Amino acid sequence: MSRRIIALTLAAVCVLPGCSLLDPNKDKGEPIPEGLVAEPGKPSLPDPSDRKSPRPKDEDEAISNALRFELEQAVLEQAAIDKPISSKCRRTGEKTFDCTVTFDGKPVQHKVEITSPPSSIMPNGVSRLFSYQVHERDAVVTKRAVQLEMLKSVKESAKINNHYGPPRCDANIPEVTVLSEKGELPDAFCYALPKGALETTEKFYIKASSIGPMAYHK
């Protein structure tokens, strides 16, 4: 009889919220610092659309400068932190450029196709009717951007009545790393506990994207 009582007692304990047997992600990760905000830096070159920017020597340089400025901006927004940044672009074909943005010493590669070449160059070197598409790219993932994405995800979920407790993230998320676009951060995750009876902590995976890291659970 005593054995049956003990067994039932253990079962009762293990259905309580937070039981480690049913919630293996309980207490994983570290709290996200309060008051965290994005602090992106500025591109290393002036905006080519600014009439005060230096005049490029030819069309290739005009296109290169425009690409460099926009790709640097994109990387800075992905990172959400201010680190040293530089870039270079070189023409590889009639309509293609290879561009490398170097962020905090790490190369971020982009393969670009000019889809609508400039019809003319204005006096300050800005191309008219200039459009492009990035076919292959890397993306920066930073600890700051991941933490901000988790805070945003929890806030957005509340709008559709999916409420979570304060999110947490693993301590080993790198301060700065580079992944291929849609690549997944290995061996580092974030966590959040849905509010409600008998809920278990959800694990969030981190995927790189052109607009910053994305957090999702499987």
Domain ranges of the chain: 17-34+143-216, 59-138
Topology of domain 59-138 in CATH is Nuclear Transport Factor 2; Chain: A, (3.10.450)
* pLDDT values of the chain reduced to their tens digit, one per residue, 218 residues: 434 333 333 333 444 444 556 889 999 999 999 899 999 999 999 998 887 888 888 888 888 999 999 999 999 999 999 999 999 999 999 999 999 999 999 999 999 999 887 665 555 555 455 789 999 999 999 999 999 999 999 999 888 878 999 999 999 999 999 999 999 999 999 999 998 767 899 999 999 999 999 999 88
Nearest to 106 by CA among 78, 64, 129, 134: 78
φ/ψ of 123, rounded to 5, equals -55, -35
Distance CA 131, CA 119 (A): 11
* Cβ neighbours around 30 below 10 Å, total: 13
Which residue's entry shows tokens 């959400």? 80
Q: What's the token pair of residue 144?
A: 């700051």
Q: What's the token pair of residue 213?
A: 């890291």
Per-residue model confidence (pLDDT) at position 124: 52
Would the pTM count as exceeding 0.75?
A: yes
* Cβ neighbours around 164 below 10 Å, total: 20
Distance CA 79, CA 106 (A): 12
Distance CA 171, CA 188 (A): 8
Which residue's entry shows tokens 């930073």? 142
